[in-house]
Amino acid sequence: MGKFVNNIEEFFAFCEENDVQFVDLRFTDLKGTWHHVTYRASAINEGNLTNGFPFDGSSIDKWQPINKSDMLLKADVPTAFLDPFTADPTIIIFCDVYDIYKGQMYEKCPRSIAKATLKHAESLGIADAAYFGPENEFFVFDDVRFIDNMNESGYKIDTEEGEWNSNTKYKDGYNTAHRGGIKGGYFPVAPIDTQVDLRAEMMQVLEQVGLEVILGHHEVAQGQGEIGIVFSDIIGAADNVQKLKYVIKMVAHLNGKTATFMPKPLFGDNGNGMHVHQSLWKDGKNLFYKEGNYANISDMALHYIGGIFQHAKAVAALTNPSTNSYKRLIPGFEAPSILTYSMQNRSASCRIPYGAGEKATRIEMRFPDSTSCPYLAFAVMMMAGLDGIKNKTVPVGPMDEDLFELTLDEIREKGIPQMPHTLREATEALIADNEFLKPVFTDVFIDDYQHYMFERQIWPDERRPTAYEFKTTYSC
């Protein structure tokens, strides 16, 4: 587990040892999608590993215009690992994107932005390390179909765990009748948990690609699971999210199933989040720890929380960047949308994990989801947190009561801020509140990103009638 190579010399030795035939270069776009180009191993040399590989940046959404499309992929050689799914031995390398026209790392490359965020913290003299531990929840379904035409739209999801299958007659089998039901999926053993062997295979393959796996379990919703991995630095943690999503989707696919990290695929059941544990360090010391304070968190950690909450609406444009994200962030489904913090209380947007010692003390932001690009999600939270440290921003809290039981009137009376309710609200907030992101996030990035949100998510969603609108409006 961990790194397989440390430098170019070890890379070629590793390729020879494993009879590598292909080298797969991978990079990430604004929405977090992993892209790749595959070279024959014989075409790889020290020169192009050092200087970069050319590709067309105009073919990636909201990147380069056609007249300035030439870009370079800069290989991060120590990230190399063997692809466990290809028929021929193939090694994957994470890449950053280089802008040949400006002679610098590309300002819209998410991985480069995350790297710049850590450098910014160092330049402020605040921290020299930032650790992130994402928890990515996912669903595994047996069949997913959807249609989106001018005169019809809809979707249908199926999983053998779905309570709607309680009376299903299976052509080549029988109905087991063992189902947890809505919100009944947390920790039951087999046969209610049908994914034991599938998750075990996922966990083993994750270890093959270098992740240190801690645990796996069924989550609350029907067909939902989670696999926990060890935290890493800001870049390593985001790299690990890309690996984890790739492995989980592929293992499900090869087992005749389909996995998704979509925040809210099932109406009326819990959704998928990406809870993110975070801490800042300097000279080997955890800056978020202060014995004797509430939950043993330092004033710096409190101000970091305050910064994220102060800018939460703008932050959400990058941590929850889909219209579907906000169908998860509603009361009653363990999706925290109330901006306060608490020790142990999972209904707060920020939880301070129980019983952590000096090295393990951290904060856990519970509102992000996996539609986000992990590099951008981690970077935007860290930039907001650093702004909070700079301005000594104090968040509302702590609040240890069950916040899910509060009415909207009670939330307003207590003066507790909330997450935005739509992607439009979040994106409008990003347009109005983005100074805290500079100089790491450029004006070009912010402008192109907000236009991308409107063009690919907000406007298309707002234009489409839904089945529920027919149900409530057709007979007007």
Give CA–CA dist 353/357, Å, rounded. Answer: 10
CB 280 within 8 Å of CB 130: yes
Cα(132)–Cα(135) distance, integer angstroms:
10
The pTM assigned to this predicted structure is: 0.96
pLDDT of 223-238, one tens digit each? 999 999 999 999 999 9
pLDDT digits (tens, 9 = 90+) for 365-397: 999 999 999 999 999 999 999 999 999 999 998
State the pairing for strand pair 22-28/90-99.
parallel
Mean pLDDT of the chain: 95
Separation CA 90–CA 83 (nearest Å): 6
Identify whether the C-beta of residue 271 lies closer than 8 Å to the C-beta of residue 358.
no
**265 preceded by a cis bond (ω within 30 of 0):** no
pLDDT at 48: 97
Mean pLDDT of 394-422: 84
Q: How confident is the model over 290-326, as pLDDT tens digits?
A: 999 999 999 999 999 999 999 999 999 999 999 999 9
The predicted pLDDT at position 331 comes to 67
pLDDT at 469 over 60: yes
Burial of residue 332 (CB within 10 Å: 0-12, 13-18, 19+) is exposed
- Going by the DSSP 8-state scheme, the letter that residue 189 receives in this structure is P
Catalytic machinery residues: 56, 135, 137, 219, 226, 275, 346, 364, 366
Q: What is the pLDDT of residues 75-98, one digit of tens each?
A: 999 999 999 999 999 999 999 999
Q: Look at residue 334 in the predicted model and tell me its pLDDT.
A: 60
- Confidence at residue 363, expressed as pLDDT on a 0 to 100 scale: 97
Query: Do 440 and 383 meet the contact criterion of CB atoms below 8 Å apart?
Result: yes
